[in-house]
Amino acid sequence: MQIAIRKLDQITIVDVSGDIDLSNSPELRKVILHEFRELRIPRVVLNLSGVRYIDSSGVASLLEGLKASRDLKSRFMMYGLNAKVTQVLQLSKLLTFFEIFENEEQALKP
Amino acid sequence: MELRSNPEVLCVVRSALSRLAELLGLSDSDCHLVILAVDEALTNIIRHAYRGQRERYIEATFRLLQAASKGSSQTSLEIVLLDDGAPVDLEKLRPRPLQELPIEALRPGGLGLYFIRKNMDKVEFRRRDGRNQLRLLKVLPPAESHQAS
């Protein structure tokens, strides 16, 4: 898994690629929570278009990010989910909790 | 297949299983579900049976099983995972999806086991001779023939 961060005004875009599993999901969790809790970014957008696979530990990291955003009244959004990532979030029954968009342009709209 | 309890092996197993599932004629979706189940099972071994120790032993066996069913033959993919870690307390690993609680109360524990049970046709766990044995079964779609594993 690779993570890159872009800053755009009061928005952080986190570009994630590769597989998210037990070996690296703590790193993803740390990055997301840092943006919300330490930097107090009001909107964090996760670009998952390069993610091929996610497991339950990755879902747990996303859930932690979602909870942090709710606690701080921030927004946690994502886009670019492929069929496998969508399938895992559907299985988790979490799909409706997240703000999910087709692409970056839609996710960045005010 | 002999593995070490290092999370880095997960992607190697996924890759091997992906090729096998494809050869066996599973759809992309079913292929993904089987891979997810096995990945979660290995994750549970690493996290719970070995409590994060990275150099412990895991044995993974894949084979095809033929069984007669309603006058026709049914083929299943059997996956057996063996480890010699701590006995697993199944009560602590209660499978569940996450939607039953408000978001603030959600805890992801048990989600991996839920994926395993949801995605496989049969899941059996037993403790024997000081080892944990998890047996997973996926019924394969009918085909002219299946290549041996």
How high is the pLDDT of residue B141? 86
pLDDT of residue B149: 45
Indicate the Cα dihedral angle A27, A28, A32, A35, nearest 10°: 50
Residue B109 backbone zone (phi > 0: left; psi -120 to 50: alpha; other: beta): beta
Kindly report, residue by residue over A81-104, the tens digit of the pLDDT. 999 999 999 998 888 899 999 999
Select the residue of A23, A56, A63 nearest B106 (Cβ to Cβ). Answer: A63
DSSP state of A83: H
Collapsing DSSP to helix, strand or coil, A102 comes out as coil
Residues 6+ apart with CB under 8 A from A76: A32, A36, A44, A46, A65, A66, A68, A69, A98, A99
Amino acid at A71: D
- From B11, B29, B111, residue closest to A19, measured CB to CB: B11
Q: What is the pTM assigned to this prediction? A: 0.89
Asked if B74 contacts B68 with a C-beta cutoff of 8 angstroms, the reply is yes
Q: pLDDT tens digits for B40-72? A: 999 999 999 999 999 999 999 999 999 886 777
Which residue in chain A has the smallest CA separation from B103?
A67
The residue length of chain B stands at 149
Tell me: the pLDDT tens digits for B63-108?
999 988 677 788 999 999 999 999 977 666 566 655 566 666 666 6
| Closest partner CB to B36 (pick from A60, A67, A88) | A88
One-character DSSP codes across chain B: -EEES-GGGHHHHHHHHHHHHHHTT--HHHHHHHHHHHHHHHHHIIIIISTT-SS-EEEEEEEEEEEEETTEEEEEEEEEEEE-SSPP-TTTS----STTS-GGG---TTHHHHHHHHHSSEEEEEEETTEEEEEEEEEPPP-S-----
Task: Please give the torsion angle defined by the CA atoms of residues A23, A28, A34 and A37, in that order, rounded to the nearest 10 degrees.
Answer: -110
What are φ and ψ of residue B111, in 5° steps? -70, -40
- Please answer yes or no on whether A22 and B97 come within 8 Å at the CB atom: no
